[in-house]
Amino acid sequence: MTMTSGSRAARGADLLLTAIAAVSWAFLAMAGVAALGLHLLGADAAGSLGPMTAAVVVLAVGGSVTPSGSVEAFGLTGAGAHTTIDIAPLGVALVGALLLGWVFARSLRALGPSVGGAELAARAGAVVVLFLLILGALAWAGSSTVTFDGGALGLPSGSGGGPGGGPGLEIPGLGDIGDIGGGLTDRLRDLADAKASVGFSVRTGPSLLGGLAWVLGVLLITLLSARRAPLPRGWEALHRGVRPAASALRAVLVLAVVAGLAAAVAAASGDGHPGRVAGAALLGAPNGVWLGVPLGLFVPLRGMASGSLLQMLPHPLDDLLRTRTGQDVSVVRLAELDQGVWLLPMGCGLLMLTAGVLTAARTPRGAAGAVGFSARCGLALGAVTAVALPLLVLATRVKADASLSVLGIDAMGAGLELSGSAPAAAALGAVWGFVAGVAGGLLAYATGAAGRRAAPLARAAVAAGGGAYPDPAYLPGPYNPSAGYRPARPETNPYLRQPGDDPYSAPTQTSRAPLRPPPRPPRQPGYRYGASPVPPPDEPPPPRGRG
């Protein structure tokens, strides 16, 4: 075996192990969060937890689940239950995306300052293929039947929210949307003697297509936001502008979800069913948080609600959608019903300003002044936000349509649809991102934080300019210190002190006459530095006689 074949074998083994680690850790984390959330919600009491977990994971990565069932109510049989739900549990998806991207980015760091395009494509392709194989297995396993017994639901005989007339289930992060009580419980009380058998199955083809789009999107976002991962040659512009802004926006969005989970923990401590609150937060906290971000940035939404699902909406929103279906939902219209809604755009504005400061701290400053540096940060964050905000609008759309019919007679019907405008989100994202980037750049420049958190690859890209030298010339080393290197100061380095700075090391001076160096001895003729002098001959040679 030659050295070339051995190197290729090692690269192939590393590629395969990286794909296995990234995909397996992602699916294990998603399955764990989904199973824990379903268990806390009490879903395992109605059916098998394994198939339900597989179905939730498939939904989280863009899959499709088809429910169907039959209901026996009021002594009659042959009823049909038809349900359509288009909502992804983003809590499960977020955990899988973070782990998959982290392992993939870490594997690229060992390849050096740059990576070949073919090798990057091969590594990404291995992750995609293995991801689709595991997703196909989950699609095969994600089919089951859940049986609900109305007599075991424990519904109260009087009006009110949850069992015992107390408050109903509240899902944190969604405000009053999670208040499942009131009219919905009153309607379900009449079906206490009903028995429902609901089956669900995963659609393999659409689920694989949705999973392919999901994993490709996660890998692309990872390459755009992983500041310390190498890129192919010619992509240095991403180090200087796109990556600092993308990583900053990703950080603040994840931080917003963490704040939502913290609010869920506080709500669960004072709730009668803390397990249900925690389970709902694990599965859907990002749904509520990321739905409020576009709304707080004045992205117009389109909403429709009818039937019992109207009781699940928050106070200003249910009053807005009660009058007429197909209403435009905006902060201005909601503020007409409740002035407290103005706190939402204030929080979202602070979120964007934080992203602007982080962008400025992670962008190399170079030789640009305050205006040029802040404008560059604004352009980068504006471009990234113009792409990210429509993705949030598409990911947080909600569509639910449920009907319960008995022998063709409609017994209960409900519908809910809430979606935003992607073009408006792109335009508003560009404006908000530019303003936040400029403001954050000026603040960071004034406080000295501009470029302080820049990655070594970004600094190298700025130093390279047009890339006249190879990449190792710009990496940290003995003649090019890294960003964390602290230059020596005269008070800490004795070799940098001047003769008059230290009184103990200054030469002794007995008079006021300036010290002069001693005179240099005269050079001997014919003497050359480094060579010993040639002694003169003892006597001249005798003259030559005539022959």
Q: What pLDDT digit, counting tens, does each position of 146-180 carry? A: 554 444 434 344 434 444 444 444 434 444 434 43
Rounded to an integer, what distance in angstroms lies between the CA atom of residue 60 and that of residue 39?
Answer: 17
What local confidence, expressed as pLDDT, does residue 464 receive?
Answer: 63
Rounded to an integer, what distance in angstroms lies between the CA atom of residue 215 and that of residue 538?
Answer: 96
Highest-confidence segment of 150-159, 436-445, 465-474, 505-514: 436-445
Question: Which residues does residue 305 pair with via DSSP β-bridges, in sequence order?
Answer: 416
Helices (H), 66-203: 90-109, 117-141, 183-189
Provide, for the chain, the percentages of residues in helix, strand and coil under a 3-state DSSP scheme, each rounded to the nearest 5: 55, 15, 30
pLDDT digits (tens, 9 = 90+) for 390-435: 999 998 887 766 554 433 334 355 667 788 889 999 999 999 999 9
Rounded to an integer, what distance in angstroms lies between the CA atom of residue 283 and that of residue 171?
Answer: 10
Residue 363 has pLDDT above 80, yes or no: yes
How do strand 76-86 and strand 65-73 relate by DSSP bridges?
antiparallel
Q: What tokens were used for 316?
A: 């200003």
- 55-87 CB burial, b ≥16 within 10 A, e <16: bbbbbbbbbbbebebebbbeeeeebebebeeee
Nearest of 292, 392, 394 to residue 341 by alpha carbon = 292
Q: What Rg, from alpha-carbon coordinates, does the chain have? A: 35
First to last CA, the chain: 84
What local confidence, expressed as pLDDT, does residue 509 receive?
Answer: 52
410 Cβ contact list (under 8 Å, min separation 6): 403, 404
Question: How much is the mean pLDDT over the chain?
Answer: 75
Backbone angles phi, psi at 539, to 5 degrees: -150, 150
Residue 75 has pLDDT above 80, yes or no: no
Nearest of 33, 175, 132 to residue 90 by alpha carbon = 33
Residue with more model confidence, 126 or 484: 126
Q: What tokens were used for 138?
A: 């989950």
Rounded to an integer, what distance in angstroms lies between the CA atom of residue 153 and that of residue 145?
Answer: 18
Residues composing the chain: 547
Mean pLDDT in residue range 509-538 = 58
pLDDT digits (tens, 9 = 90+) for 192-231: 444 455 556 677 888 899 999 999 999 999 999 999 898 8
Mean pLDDT in residue range 322-333 = 74
What local confidence, expressed as pLDDT, does residue 281 receive?
Answer: 87
Report the amino acid identity of residue 295.
L
